[in-house]
Amino acid sequence: MSPGLIVYKSKYGTTAKYARWLAQATGFDCVDAKSFSAADLDNYETVIFGSGIYASRISGLSFLKKYWGKLQEKEVAVFCVGAFSYDEKAFKKLYTDNFRDEIAGIPCFYCRGALDIESLSMPDKLLVKAVQKSAEKKEPSAYTPAEKTVMQALKGKCDWTDKSYLQPVIDFIG
């Protein structure tokens, strides 16, 4: 049995970047959720799932629910990737809103991602535009974390990725 598997879902590439970094650091196998086969789970003791955060939802948690029958016997954790700087209160709310029912209690770790407004899908651009309009009515000192991030990204592509964000995941794996 192999020690671990990293399964990730990446919309713009940042989660894939973190998944590859984590695979390099741990020696775990790494696979895009699109290429995943449920039979693969039998070969691993630990499964780490990574995905992005969009509009306060961790994308792809349905993966965990779908395979929970096999996953509940394994060591499981999630890392999520978002553009905003870490805020403990916001992260606790994100966790409470996303980890319910059978997946409640799974450890989740935050990694800061990137934001390139030009590369966003139209729905994501519209969301950014709404945040921008809200921020423009305020003094910069009153911006929410989302507003700060959007206003910074309007000046150009931002990349806050850093391997150090993965250290808590590595520590969890032990």
- pLDDT in the model for residue 36: 86
Between CA 55 and CA 42 the distance in angstroms is 33
Between CA 95 and CA 87 the distance in angstroms is 12
Residue in the block written with tokens 């996953």: 71
- pLDDT in the model for residue 2: 65
Between CA 41 and CA 99 the distance in angstroms is 21
- pLDDT in the model for residue 55: 82
- pLDDT in the model for residue 146: 86
H or E segment at 50? strand 44-54
8, 15 contact by CB (below 8 A): yes
Between CA 112 and CA 118 the distance in angstroms is 19
Nearest to 48, CA basis, from 16, 6, 18, 10? 6
Between CA 113 and CA 149 the distance in angstroms is 11
Residue 116: both structure tokens together: 């390139």
3-class SS at 43? Answer: helix
Name the stretches of the chain with pLDDT < 70: 1-2
pTM to 2 decimals?
0.91
